A and B are shown apart, each in its own frame.
Chain A
């Protein structure tokens, strides 16, 4: 009877996770959705404590206090710009938990009767060990890359990388087979986790810069799949269901991010971005054609603008300019009667949806945030487009030059707007390492300078004029 109640509660929790995620389909229902998921989790945890096999609670309570405190401090203190690092780290913790739980279950299986079949337990343990360990170590590298304090954020390549990865994968398979043949070889499991960990590190170090959103989404998916594998280890349906939901979510986001860069997942994971032979150099593109404008000149432009579109990039967040951008937009709306919208490229931030969170934090209205596909067909009627800290995502070369490394990547077509203002420190290239002809276009003005400072000057010029 106790078993039945526990499993029915797990079913309820699973349903609440689905409803919780469903709530996230609209900002209005999202807060309630998240709370639904949290209550589902609480129910699942509470009912587990009634399991007959539990003989003492002190280690559970101690672990929950330590983990709860660390999690709460992270959640309260984290800056929104640092959200990608935190999600990367949390993905890793999920993977680590799966490795540890599966390892413990393997040891326990040799000591007491198990619920499901032994073959299922052992095979799933191997899967859990591999996926979980790749997730943990890969996420740790992703975290360090995004944090940029200990290791640089760019891609790191070494010769024979692919061969080493393939060898490690073979070793994992062999070790896995040995464990399945003789499940009492517990030490082999930890060696397997170690080898998979090295593989996780090596798979993540060659990925950097603009590809980070893909990696975080993929690791998010892995952390879910690791939980699913652990569900098979324990023959526990709520783990299988919850893990599958997360796995599906991560896969969808991964595919969206890849499409937004017009690259295949294999290309992101194993390929390199290099400027094509014979493409135009910066000098050829920019020489004598770039027009610089002062904040006062740009202010005059905005004076008569009816429709304004702001294109933010991660550079805006680095310069901490999002609050000034909002003040500027509000001034244009309230004092000049202009319609102001934000055009958001899917890879504008460092993780899926990151730019939207940064703008929401600066109190930008949800309705003003427009997706690329939604705003692109209307850009011809825009008087002024202002690009702040973005580069590759507005580079028209993506449409025109099939040999370019960003060829075919969907971009925000600001070059079709009547006037384009670029706020940028210099003419330096973006992650793709190629010059941007937009900067030299007839209808483009460059407002050079630090994003925040330049925009503050622009705002005060507008207020005076």
Chain B
């Protein structure tokens, strides 16, 4: 229970930080914000790596592998396409 309260505290505070930071992003950059935050939500890859690597059962290994694929698409694709867009805004 104690661990849950700690996790909940972190969750609530992170939501506040998110609101504070993201309300300052100008509308011009909202599309890169979405693709960039998409990449960040690929953080699930960490859980996927653990399941694919601990190999408790064949099923969990396969689930882990598939999750690694999905999450890596998010991470690699998300950061790369965001970079591509932001370069367009930077060049003069």
Contacts and interface: CB of A to CB of B under 8 A. Distances in A.
Contacts of B47: 101, 104-105, 230, 233-234, 236, 239
Nearest to A80: B85
Given A60-B53, A239-B43, A244 B34 contact: no
Contacts of B79: 34, 37-38, 41
B3 A245 contact: no
A369 B71 CA distance: 34
B60 A56 contact: no
B50 to A, nearest CB: 6
A55 B53 CA distance: 6
Q: Is the interface of B mostly helix, strand, loop or mixed?
A: helix
Contacts of A361: 88
B77 A357 contact: no
B31 to A, nearest CB: 4
B81 A78 contact: yes
Contact of B34 (A59, A64, A217, A344): A217
Interface string A361-399: 101011001010000000000000000000000000000
Interface in B35-78: 35-57, 59-61, 63-78
A379 to B, nearest CB: 18
Given A71-B75, A217-B34, A27 B89 contact: yes
Given A93-B70, A234-B50, A31 B19 contact: no
A108 B52 contact: no
A49 B63 CA distance: 18
A436 interface: no
Interface residues of B, number: 81
A103 B60 CA distance: 8
Contacts of A371: 26-27
B90 to A, nearest CB: 6
A104 B64 contact: yes
A96 B25 CA distance: 28
B79 to A, nearest CB: 4
Contacts of A104: 47, 51, 59-60, 63-64, 67
Given A45-B49, A75-B80, 19 more contacts: A31-B90, A48-B49, A57-B53, A63-B66, A71-B80, A72-B77, A74-B81, A78-B81, A104-B47, A107-B60, A117-B4, A235-B7, A245-B14, A246-B41, A250-B37, A252-B19, A352-B33, A357-B85, A365-B92
22 contacts: A20-B40, A25-B24, A27-B89, A37-B40, A41-B39, A59-B68, A60-B53, A63-B68, A71-B77, A72-B77, A75-B78, A90-B35, A90-B78, A94-B42, A107-B59, A220-B37, A232-B7, A242-B40, A245-B18, A245-B40, A248-B17, A352-B27
Interface of B: 1, 3-4, 7, 10-11, 14-15, 17-19, 21-57, 59-61, 63-92
Interface of A: 14, 17-18, 20-22, 24-28, 30-31, 33-35, 37-38, 41, 44-45, 48-49, 51, 53-57, 59-60, 62-64, 66-68, 70-72, 74-76, 78, 80, 83, 86-87, 90-91, 93-94, 96-98, 100-101, 103-105, 107-108, 111-112, 116-117, 120, 216-217, 220, 223-224, 226-228, 230-250, 252-253, 256, 344, 346, 349, 351-354, 356-357, 360-361, 363, 365-366, 369, 371
